[in-house]
Amino acid sequence: MKLKPFHVMKAIYPCIWMNQKAREAAAFYCSVFPDAKIEEENDLVAMWSSGGEKFMLLNGGPKFKPNPSISFYSIFPDEKQLEEIWNKLSVGGMIMMPLDSYPWSKKYGWLEDKYGVSWQLESNVPEGISQRYVPAFMFTAAQFGRAEEAIAFYTSLFPESSSLFISRYGDDAGDQAGKVNHAQFMLSGQRFAAMDSSFTHAFTFSEGMSLVVPCDTQEEIDFFWEKLGEGGEESMCGWLKDRFGVSWQIVPAKLGEMMADPEKGPRVVQAFMKMKKFDIQALQDA
């Protein structure tokens, strides 16, 4: 049964955990990607966007790091532009799959940049897509084999959601046979990707990369906090881990606006630092 009471939502966007280098990293990404600009900067976060698609960088200290369990499938049909972006991102980083021609793409490569963020650069444009950056989940270790379950779960919660396609490993793929090779799905009108991998990886989902769900109402916050948190783990300040270990932030859409107020902002921060699930009315009262 579908449980989607909301018809329109703000865009979901990624939050990348940084070790006190949010401003530096935001400036770097704005020098790499087209149509990029700084949206907001303070001591806690730096927000930047490319082509209107938003990223948050969080000064969280050394506790967590981003890793390839969530990467960004990044689509640039202009191969010269793609190569320029690749060359800039690769400085100080690590190549995971060389930029080359592959059976599924004329030009593709996967790398981890100097901040530990993973990018899959792709020249082929999927039919009907205008989105440039597609968050891609890799289900590894204890989560291997759960990609299809996760897609069904996520698309049951968010409005404007559906499974677009699922490609599976063939019978010759050993213990990966029948699991998800590559899948794409929509959440709130945005495209996401997922795959299973049984290879030995030194990473899995963590707070190093989370997804922010901006909510206009307390009803939305209550719904996503309850549903995404089922079988997972609650944390502080609107953070939770779902049953697959993926980290989400369920936040008021106007939180940034409230924090930006010179007089009220510090009180808002003090208030939400004591909260697990956000209480919009309590923040407004602060």
* Amino acid, res. 5: P
Q: How confident is the model at residue 1 (pLDDT cuts 50, 70, 90)?
A: very low
| pLDDT tens per residue, range 192-226 | 999 999 988 889 999 999 999 999 999 999 999 99
For residue 286, what pLDDT is reported? 84
| pLDDT tens per residue, range 136-193 | 999 999 999 999 999 999 999 999 999 999 999 999 999 999 999 999 999 999 999 9
Q: What is the pTM of this model?
A: 0.93
Q: Is the pLDDT of residue 96 over 60?
A: yes
Q: Is the pLDDT of residue 2 over 50?
A: no
Q: How confident is the model at residue 6 (pLDDT cuts 50, 70, 90)?
A: low
The per-residue pLDDT of the chain, averaged, comes to 93
Q: How confident is the model at residue 8 (pLDDT cuts 50, 70, 90)?
A: low
| pLDDT tens per residue, range 45-59 | 999 999 999 999 999
